[in-house]
Structure 1
Amino acid sequence: MNRHHQLSLPLIFPLKRFVAAAVLVSFLSLFGLSSFASAAAEELPAPPQLEAPSAILMDAGTGQVLYQLNADEARPPASMAKMMSEYLVSMAVKQGKLNWDDKVTIGENAAKQIGSRILLAQGDQHTIRDLYIALAVYSANDATVQLAEEVAGSEEEFAKLMNQTAVELGMTNSHFINSTGLDRADMPEKYQPTSIDGETTMSARDAAILGYRIVKDDPEFLETSKLQEHKFRERDKTPMKNWNWMLGTNKDNPTLRKFAYEGVDGLKTGHTSRAGQNFTGTALRNGTRLIAVVMGVGGKTEDGKRFLETAKLFDYGFKSFEKKTIVEAKASVPEYETLKVKKGKATSVPVVTATDLTVLVPKGAVVEPVVQEVKPVEDPLVAPIAQGDKVGTVTYKYKDPSTQEEKTITIDLIASEEVSKGSWWRLLLRAIGNFFSSLFQGIVDLF
């Protein structure tokens, strides 16, 4: 082989690969598959890199967890504990135990509070609503304590109610000793709890669960938590400023613009030297509401770092996930298209799902639910059955694509057709037919 051939031979193989690639691209373009090829190469979104020891991101519609970091670690929540106080005060109003317009007299415990407060003096009178706004917007410790005493008679009894409610809501890593989240040493000595040990702690997951319950059970709270400022007394020179700098409306505030995040309208900040910088936030965009929690963020309050870390979580949720319906409403369940019926014109009724099953999934991820159980309300069903009646439930099992945890969810099954009650003559003939059918089968089985 001459020198010319020795030099040119290695070039043949790259040339062949180039030609093959060109043909493949042309083929994909011809059939409209170029976008498929690029999508297939695209990786699932990477989780955020947070400068926080504990955090969680949750879908406020379903409670689905999209991201978690040491989410079950019990930590001092500081004023984030006031979310429970807000929840209990609102529930007391809904139950008729309190009225928003009730005027209450400020007691000694409230007047002696330190930290964030609106300088309530013992003997002052204010409405439940005014104190509640001071709690929600300015995180006022004095207003919070007075509301706690109005609900439960004393702050210590209120703390017991907080702990009881935490258990009921499924908050497994929370413990409350007061209504404010202040450390025991910062409480007036006379009013420190004697029947509750320890300090107040809460996990990021529990904070998200509490935020989820507030949004579900008390959505009106967001009308208060999104207030940028509020003047507590007419004579006050300056209004109370909301500690939540992430409020979307702060985009027009030159000082807070860099922290403002579109769609944020709650929920609660918290800070002490022991707790660090904490925040439970919620944001609504394009019909999807998320709840994000960061705990123990370092730095000073004025740095606003907790809000910057929360923004990373919201960005991850809104940009990297999409809603996907994995079970359609009014769809039949394979192998369970009908359920048995007795005393009806028909012996079975076709059934379909009452609602759809929609989850947030990372863009590009696939979720395949599997039927775990179908359970009729009674077996067999008894006619008459009207179209749309609930006749049972179906439980699906699927793997959460973001946490890889096995999940189950149950939705109702409804009748897609009516089954009227059979006449006595029809039922008699059916019974006779069934008798002879079983008799014949018994004879067959003998042989």
Structure 2
Amino acid sequence: MLCFSLAPTLALAEGEQNQTQSQTGSTTTSTKPASQQSGAVQIPSPESLQLQVKSAVLLEPVSGQVLLNINGDQALPPASMTKMMTEYIVADLVKQGKFKWDEMVTVGENASETIGSRIFLAEGDQHTMEELYIAMAVGSANDATVALAEHVAGSEQAFVKMMNDEAKRMGMKNTHFANSTGLDIADMPEKYKTPGNQETVMSAMDAAILAKYIVTDHPDFARFTSIQTHKFRERDKAPIVNYNWMLEANKNVTNFKKYAYEGLDGLKTGHTSNAGNCFTGTAERNGVRLISVVMGTSSESARFVETRKVLDYGFNNFETKQIIAPKATVPGTETVTVKKAKNTSVPVVSDQAVSFVIPKGTDTSKVQAKVTLSNETLTAPLKQGTKVGTVTYSFKPDGMNQTLEKTVNLITAQDVEKAGWFKLLMRAIGDFFSDLFNGIKNLF
């Protein structure tokens, strides 16, 4: 295994698997007074983590900031981490009301013949979508996964198209799905094998992006992913045991307590001979959630050992800090001019707060603001909150190689009333004589 610098990775498969006035379109940059940065945590070097992985990524999902990136754009076999996309699509269709968790799914031939990690479904068996979803999320059951894919799309290949379309929409640039499970094509049932030889691949960065969509669009994800054990059928001799040994709840389980991690509640493990051992994990502490991905580790336990290093790196060294408060005034662009307004100089503010994930203790006084006003002429009346442009805040913290940026809208801070006809007439007369005087003055 190689030890790398910082970069992103993902896995899917299991078991066998200055001053701006009223000119439109103008920009301005203002900088808060710089001050000496002091007290900031010294971020450990990538080498000091000694990560034994093919790739790894650490991402904060709200800002989308990448805090650690080791070969993150390298497309690798993700094994059962592939099922994260299946989980996302199924949960999204239920959320949209197109399917219901309690509706029955009839198992087809493809699902019944799927090998690897499974719950031994027989053709014709019937189970609810929720039962099959739990088997997929907790036990990484390939047969349950295929049954769900066929139920919502008609066939697994039709579902695979949905997976690849979603990957494109999410901006996953180094991903291709060949099936719903993450199995190698050779291990799929002969009759249902994906044509061609383009296997499933996904980069660690893409895995982190997918996980970000899961935790953001489906904040109740842990209802499934944090289940420790689940008895699928009454006749089953033993329950399904979650492959995720790092669940915080495992702190009291003898075999797993040394892996249990504070705040960890998901997401998905993966293993095949080609992929090695992979894990996309997520944990929340003090209101901050982080997503980690490790790919290509040497063993089941190693993927959790390496994940702990990655998450510790994030929680020990970084914090989420509000840089700009909501409804903030931008120095140099406190107002804009609005034509035909009772008061032509109208105050403007940013429409939301700006937060960055930065090294702990970093001084944030050195922030740049670049304003871009709309090309449209502003004419009264205007409602409070009318967008008049944007402001981009940028900041390069000590200890980080990247410059952090976020763009928010610049909006009117109050309603803008239209002036009465008499005021507009007097203003027009004043402007006429002012222009006339300036014209005469320029003759001499």
TM-score when scaled to structure 1? 0.86
Compared CA separation, residues 287 and 41, structure 1 to 2 (3 A): closer
Give how far 1:74 is off: 0.4
1:49 aligns with 2:46: no
Kept in 2, the 8 Å contact 1:341–1:348? The answer is yes
> For 1:173-229, what per-residue CA distance to the aligned partner results, in whole angstroms no more than 9, with x for missing partners?
0010000000111111111112x6411000000000000001111112221111111
> Residue by residue, what CA displacement relative to the aligned partner does 1:28-71 show, whole Å, maximum 9, x if unpaired?
xxxxxxxxx99669744444321112001011221111111000
The residue identity in structure 2 corresponding to 1:211 is A
Name the amino acid aligned to 2:177: F
Among the aligned pairs, what percent are the same residue? 55
Which residue does the alignment assign to 1:184? 185
Letter of the structure 2 residue corresponding to residue 133 of structure 1: I
List aligned pairs for 1:157-196, cutoff 5 A: 157-194=158-195
CA distance in 1, matches of 2:254, 2:65: 35
- Report if the CA contact (8 A) 1:132-1:143 is conserved: yes
* TM-align CA RMSD: 2.0
Cα distance, 1:400 vs. partner? 6.2
Question: Would you say the 8 A contact 1:67–1:403 is kept in 2?
Answer: no
Q: Which has the larger displacement, 289-298 or 346-355?
A: 346-355
- Aligned residue number for residue 408 of structure 1: 405
2:428 and 2:256 mapped to 1: Cα distance?
78
Question: What is the match of residue 328 of structure 1?
Answer: 325
Does residue 369 of structure 1 match 2:367? yes
Structure 1 291/202 Cα, relative in aligned 2: closer, same or farther at 3 Å? same
Gaps of 5+ in 1: 1-36
Equivalent residue, structure 2, for 1:380: 377
User: Which residue identity does 1:127 align to in structure 2?
Assistant: T
Report what 1:206 is aligned to.
206
TM-score of the superposition, structure 2-length normalised?
0.87
1:35-434 to 2 correspondences below 5 Å: 43-47=42-46, 48-194=49-195, 197-299=197-299, 301=300, 304-367=301-364, 368-376=366-374, 379-399=376-396, 403-434=400-431
Conserved? CA contact 1:248–1:265, under 8 Å? yes
Deviation, 1:234, is: 2.2
The answer on whether the counterparts of 2:38 and 2:362 sit within 8 Å (CA) in structure 1 is: no
> Structure 1 residue 94: deviation in Å?
2.0
CA contact (8 A) 1:44 1:363 kept: no
Bigger CA drift: 400-409 or 236-245? Answer: 400-409
Between structure 1 and structure 2, the one with the greater Rg is: 1
What amino acid is the match of 2:264?
V
Distance 1:352 1:138, change over 3 A: same
With over 3 angstroms needed to count, the CA separation of the structure-2 counterparts of 1:148 and 1:331, relative to structure 1, is: same
CA distance in 1, matches of 2:274, 2:399: 32
Change in CA separation of 1:402 and 1:193 when aligned onto 2, cut-off 3 Å? farther
Cα pair 2:78 2:295 within 8 Å, conserved: yes
Q: Residue type matched to 1:363 in 2?
A: K
- Which deviates more, 384-393 or 176-185? 384-393
CA distance in 1, matches of 2:247, 2:298: 21
Moved more, 94-103 or 165-174: 94-103
Q: 1:392 deviation in Å?
A: 3.3
Cα pair distance change 1:215/1:307, threshold 3 Å? same
Once structures 1 and 2 are overlaid, which stretch shifts more, 131-140 or 415-424? 415-424
Q: Is the 8 A contact 2:164 2:176 kept in 1?
A: yes
Q: SS at the partner of 2:199?
A: coil
- Between the two structures, name the one with larger relative contact order (CA 8 Å, sep ≥ 6): 2
* Alignment: residue pair count: 406
Q: Residues 162 and 312 of structure 1: is their aligned pair in 2 closer, same or farther, counting only changes over 3 Å?
A: same
Distance 1:445 1:56 in 2: 65
For residues 127 and 40 of structure 2, what CA distance do their matches in structure 1 show?
62
Distance (whole Å) between structure 1 residues aligned to residue 136 and residue 199 of structure 2: 21
Higher helix share: 1
* Residue 23 of structure 2: aligned partner: none
8 Å CA contact retained: 2:59, 2:67: yes
- 1:312 and 1:124, CA in 2 relative to 1: closer, same or farther beyond 3 A? same
SS of equivalent to 2:280? strand
